[in-house]
Amino acid sequence: MRLFITGIKGQLGSEIARQAKSDHDVIGGDLPEFDITNRSQVAAAFAAQRPTCVIHCAAFTNVDAAARDPETAYRINGLGTQNIALACAEQNIEILYLSSNEVFDGNTTQPYREFDSTNPINPYGYSKLAGEEFTQQIAARHYIVRTSWLTSAGGRNFVHRIQQLADEQGKLRVVTDEVACPTFGVDLAQAILKVIVTHQYGIYHLVNEGYCSRYDYAQKILELTNRSHIPIEPITLADFPRPSTPPKFTPLTNLCGAALGIRLRGWEEALKEFLTR
């Protein structure tokens, strides 16, 4: 297949490109040369490159910045995805859109399934849901992949931040009531590449197996990096004010991918390998 990856310089886009190059013809675009909010530029790039499938990773992912500037988040995640979907529909290209656990409200006690009702509670979640809806409404041949708490080797993420704060401050305060599935880019990229060759269109929850709180996650990071002596104070989201309001309980269940034999390993195993690397 000929793959066009939007956001190819980012954490996930670059990992997909790295893994895909042995079996696929990989091209892509990223800022400043490729801007998903520019409809004519998107259409021209796809017409010139003629991809079989577009893997749409480019996004506004800073959830607190999205809360401060909802219009920009919607313009990029919503209307930018509309541009991608329109170009794919017009040129008969498959599209895979990367979405988020934050399209759910977190008011549940069971992990979310692919067909559960969405109900975002913050601007980032609303903007990602808008991207889902544009993809579904415009592009007949689409995949929507929801994931959560993504960690890759490059860029800023929770795993790096916990180690940094532990070393700088000698103690941590981490919330116990935000729960989701830690997911690692190397595993997510592999799963995505397995999905697109099935041509089984629809919604997928692709996350590493298992879930935990931010507090439990931080404890495991310290344990695996010989920092268990660093004290962690358990706090709640109410004790940690921030611009965005994250949903409290948003683990995702992989039903649709598992039905195709596509499963991701447990998050603790993936974390251990990530830290070893």
Q: Which tokens sit at 7?
A: 């956001």
- Please answer whether residues 241 and 184 qualify as being in contact, where contact means their C-beta atoms are separated by less than 8 angstroms: no
Q: How far apart (Å, rounded) are the C-alpha atoms in residues 149 and 32?
A: 26
Helix ranges (H only) for the chain are 11-20, 39-49, 63-68, 70-73, 80-91, 123-138, 158-169, 185-196, 214-224, 256-259, 267-276
Taking phi over 0 as left and psi of -120 to 50 as alpha, with beta for the rest, 85 belongs to alpha
Cα R_g (the chain), whole angstroms: 18
Catalytic residue among 97, 124, 126, 143: 124
Looking only at the bridges linking them, the beta strands covering 179-180 and 212-213 are antiparallel
Asked if 201 is an active-site residue, the reply is no
Contacts 24+ apart (CB under 8 A), 85-90: 85/134, 85/135, 85/137, 85/138, 85/139, 85/142, 86/39, 86/43, 86/138, 87/39, 87/42, 87/43, 87/46, 87/54, 88/46, 88/54, 88/138, 88/139, 88/141, 88/142, 89/138, 89/139, 89/140, 90/43
- Please answer whether residues 42 and 87 qualify as being in contact, where contact means their C-beta atoms are separated by less than 8 angstroms: yes
Nearest to 54 by CA among 98, 23, 22: 98
For residue 85, give the amino acid letter. Answer: A
Catalytic residues: 124
